[in-house]
Structure 1
Amino acid sequence: MSAWLPTAPCTPRDCSTHQGPSVGVLIGSLRLLAGVGLVLAGALVAPFLTLLGGAARDWLTRRWARMALRLFGLRVRVVGEPPPGRGPGVLVVANHVSWLDIPLLAAVFPGRMLAKSEIRSWPLLGALAALGGTLFVERERLRALPTTVRTLSTALTAGSRVIVFPEACTWCGREHGRFTTAVFQAALDANAAVRPVRITYRAPDGEPSGAPAFVGDDTITASLWRVVTAGGLTAEITVLPLIPAGRHTDRRELARDARSGIARTVTGDGVARTAVADRVPYTAVASDNANRPSSSVHQCVNSIPAPASSARTRS
């Protein structure tokens, strides 16, 4: 992994715990088979969705994504402003916790995801992502970033809803990373609004659960099993107020504005608190000068654990 790519301090051992009931092997296995089966069915149907109109395609995508989450054992809860219908191009930015973020966002905001280019070559899922209009970024090639920004800007100008994860790698959900800013330059270039979205996975008691977190050296197999055997998980998506086009003229200010609401951790008692790691003043990340690639749809490869002295927030 390039040294300038963002990393997170979260690890499966420290973060991927579920404070709640668990289901047995039988139920977990049934959930796994049903969820994977629906994903495979979606891959087979995806080519035909391109023949449908935008509204019909969005409706089917929402239904498929909600059903997939339900089969994996999660309920979906939408908080905040009602999800808008189709309209002018908008950049949807969210914190990044898990591979589950993708169907969760699709259940509320069907659109074009920004993903690392390696996903394009994945068996089945790569083809499914491409058919869904995914925009791919070559994270390891610094020189490819201007092209990516232009591609995003073009998609936004054409009226597409583009979904990105500006943290650029997965965090546990109790902590949050700095936002890279290149994607916000695309919104400025396209004169597009920005919709911040906060993703939280909750245990039955309402507190954040680490079971869905896909961090560090976690494997997709271990993550899948952890999710399907966790009882009472709720996938919560908080739709934050729209940042209208023209409010900011600097991408750093726009990134700061979008991040401010997302980084607030809302606990089971309904009180919003700022995570310990986020109480330091916001400063532009090093990528502002280095022009790091912006986001991925999956965890950073070989995420590097932080030193033991790093500030952390635990449930």
Structure 2
Amino acid sequence: MTVIEHAWLPRTLCDSSCVRAGGAPPSRRLVAAVRSTYRIAAALMLLMVVPLLAVPLPGRGRVQRLYCRIFLRCLGVRITVSGGPIRNLRGVLVVSGHVSWVDTFVIGSVLPGAFVARADLIDWPAVGLAARIMKVIPIDRASLRRLPQVVATVAERLRNGQTVVAFPEGTTWCGLAYGQFRPAMFQAAVDSGRPVQPLRLTYHHRDGRPSTVTAFVGDDSLWQSLSRTVRTRVTVVDVEVASLELPGTDRRELAGRCEVAVRGQIAPRFQHSHALAG
């Protein structure tokens, strides 16, 4: 199926060179193969119990956070949390930069909620089931006409006290470079009068070097991204919790405030800092 390219459609400048720039040092092939086989088997077994997360039991949020952390450990991904306290408020729009499908499990381990995600995510093997359980709000990036309906759905869920997670860049970047926060999703916070919780996700290797191993960019397939992740010895993701942002009345101003909270600075937004990889 041909997708019509609109001028408003977010585009990433990242490609396979970004993944190589932040890749892990070479490891022994046999060790990496055994490691990846074990991890994929463990992750698949854990995905078999995903339907249990839909059971409306007390403390389900805590169970979802624990499930996401265990699933990430199966992939070799570790989580650290820094910054401000995590406030268990109802009806909060959570925003962060977007690097990979792994982001959904990372945020789910800290602030579980419904995700605004690409519509075809529902059709992905295994991950699609988890997406349906997490009540993903699908968005078709090629259809501008459907965007107001998605924003209205997000606003309604926020009014009903649900946590909703969105990625305002509109597409994935490698993590060494990043895109601008688009204001559309912030309209939902303005319309519902609910606050926004910015999160800064930083992927790095165990020795502290920036990592693009989990990135899902360019012509990457889900399998390629998954393979890089499970073959790497350890990937550490730091989740920095920024201060809550009140919605105000201007979605563009709100998007700008949240982008500063997530990035720390606005420029350089589109430059690939490959030198950081060492």
Query: So what's the TM-score if we normalise by structure 2?
Result: 0.88
Say if 2:84 is the partner of 1:106. no
Q: Quick one: structure 1 residues 63 and 84, their matched pair in 2 at CA, closer, same or farther if it must change by over 3 Å? A: same
Partner residue in 1 for 2:208: 206
Question: 2:18 aligns to what?
Answer: 14
Question: 2:50 matched to which residue of 1?
Answer: 46
Residue type matched to 1:49 in 2? L
CA distance in 2, matches of 1:311, 1:93: 22
Per the TM alignment, residue 149 of structure 1 is displaced from its structure 2 partner at its CA by 0.9
How many residues align? The count is 271
1:3 to 2:6 alignment = yes
Partner of 1:312: 272
Does the 8 A contact of 2:115 with 2:135 survive in 1? yes
Letter in 1 for 2:56: L
Distance, in Å, in 1 between the alignment partners of 2:215 and 2:127 is 20
Task: Give the 3 Å change call, closer, same or farther, for CA 229–18 of structure 1 in structure 2.
Answer: farther
Segments of 5+ residues of structure 2 without an aligned counterpart are none
Distance across 1 between alignment mates of 2:35 and 2:87: 31
Distance 2:60 2:32 in 1: 31
Match of 1:84 among 81, 84, 87: 87
Alignment of 1:162-241 (within 5 A): 162-241=164-243
- Over residues 199-223 of structure 1, what are the superposed CA-to-partner deviations in whole Å (9 max), with x where a residue is unaligned? 1111233231122222111222222
* Pair 1:129 & 2:89 matched: no
Per-residue deviation at 1:43? 4.0
Structure 2 CA distance for partners of 1:132 and 1:311, relative to 1, 3 Å = closer
Instruction: Confirm or deny that 1:73 pairs with 2:33.
Output: no
CA 1:44–1:184 in 2, change beyond 3 Å: closer, same or farther? same
Whether the aligned pair in 1 keeps the contact of 2:201 and 2:239 (CA below 8 Å) is yes
8 A contact 1:22–1:230 mirrored in 2: no
Task: Give, in whole Å, the separation in 2 of the partners of 1:8 and 1:213.
Answer: 12
- Partner of 1:249 in structure 2? 249
Contact in 1 for aligned 2:158/2:164 (Cα 8 Å)? yes
Counterpart of 2:121? 119
Q: Return the offset for 1:155.
A: 0.5
Check whether the contact 1:69–1:103 (CA below 8 A) recurs between aligned residues. Answer: yes
Note the C-alpha offset of 1:45.
2.5
CA RMSD, 1 decimal: 2.2
Identity of aligned residues (%): 34
Instruction: Map residues 49-64 of structure 1 onto 2, 5 A cutoff.
Output: 49-53=53-57, 56-64=59-67
Q: Say which is worse superposed, 181-190 or 7-16, in terms of deviation.
A: 7-16
Between 105-114 and 2-11, the greater mean CA deviation after superposition? 2-11
Distance of 1:229 and 1:43 partners within structure 2: 19
| Aligned partners of 2:18 and 2:174 also within 8 Å | no
State the Cα distance separating 1:23 from its structure 2 match. Answer: 4.1
Kept in 2: contact 1:263–1:275 (CA 8 A): yes
Matched, 1:277 2:268: yes
Counterparts in 2 of 1:137 and 1:105: CA distance versus 1, 3 Å: same
Q: CA deviation at 1:42?
A: 4.4
Q: Is the 8 A contact 1:22 1:229 kept in 2?
A: no
State the TM-score, normalizing by the size of structure 1: 0.79
Deviation at 1:62, TM superposition (A): 1.3
Instruction: Sort the Cα spacing of 1:38 and 1:244 in 2 relative to 1 into closer, same or farther, 3 A.
Output: farther
Aligned residue runs from structure 1 range 19-34, under 5 A: 20-34=24-38
